[in-house]
Amino acid sequence: MRFDYSTLQNIENAVGDSWYILDIERFISNYKEFLKAFQDIYPQTQIAYSYKTNYIPLICKTVDDLGGFAEVVSDMEYSLALDIGVKPKNIVVNGPYKPENELKRYLLNGSMVNVDSFQELDLVMKVANEHKNTKFSIGISCNFEIEGYPPSRFGVDVTDPRFEKALVEISKTSNLDLVSIHCHYPYREVSSFQGRVYGILEVYDRVVKYCSPKYIDIGGGLGGKISKELMEHLGVKNVEYVDYANIIAKTVHAKFKEDENKPILLMEPGTALVADAMSFFCKILGIKEVRGRAIACSSGSRVNFHSRTSKLNMPIRVFSKNQGYRKKHESIDIGGYTCMEEDYIYRSYNGDLETGDYVAVDNVGSYSIVFKPPFINPNVPVVTFVENELRVIKNKETYEDVFKTYIK
Ligand X SMILES: Cc1ncc(COP(=O)(O)O)c(C=O)c1O
Residues that bind ligand X (CB under 6 A): 50, 52-53, 71, 94, 184, 219-222, 268-272, 366
CA distances from 301 to 48, 188, 298, 365 (A): 31, 26, 8, 15
Please state the closest distance from residue 329 (CB atom) to ligand X, in A. 35
Q: What region, left, alpha or beta, does residue 203 occupy, with left being phi > 0 and alpha being psi -120 to 50 degrees? A: alpha
Please state the closest distance from residue 141 (CB atom) to ligand X, in A. 8
Nearer to ligand X, 95 or 381 (CB): 95
Nearer to ligand X, 43 or 96 (CB): 96
Please state the closest distance from residue 346 (CB atom) to ligand X, in A. 24
Nearer to ligand X, 184 or 394 (CB): 184
Q: What is the 3-state secondary structure (H, E, C) of 59-76?
A: HHHHHHHCCCEEEECCHH
Helix, strand or coil for residue 116? Answer: coil
Please state the closest distance from residue 256 (CB atom) to ligand X, in A. 22
Show Cβ contacts of residue 63 under 8 Å, excluding neighbours closer than 6 positions: 31, 47, 49, 69, 70
Nearer to ligand X, 55 or 204 (CB): 55
Nearer to ligand X, 220 or 336 (CB): 220
Please state the closest distance from residue 274 (CB atom) to ligand X, in A. 8
| DSSP per residue, 221-267 | -------HHHHHHHT-----HHHHHHHHHHHHHHHHTT-SSPPEEEE
Nearer to ligand X, 81 or 294 (CB): 81
Read off the DSSP letter of residue 151.
Answer: P
Burial class (CB in 10 A: 0-12, 13-18, 19+), 161: exposed
Nearer to ligand X, 131 or 188 (CB): 188
Please state the closest distance from residue 53 (CB atom) to ligand X, in A. 4
Please, what is the end-to-end C-alpha distance for the chain in angstroms?
Answer: 44
Nearer to ligand X, 95 or 356 (CB): 95
Please state the closest distance from residue 271 (CB atom) to ligand X, in A. 4
Q: Alpha-carbon distance 185 to 196, whole Å?
A: 8
Helix, strand or coil for residue 124? Answer: helix
What is the chain's alpha carbon radius of gyration, rounded to the nearest angstrom?
A: 24
Pairing mode, strands 176-182 and 136-143: parallel
Please state the closest distance from residue 242 (CB atom) to ligand X, in A. 17
Do residues 112 and 177 touch, judged by C-beta distance below 8 A?
A: no
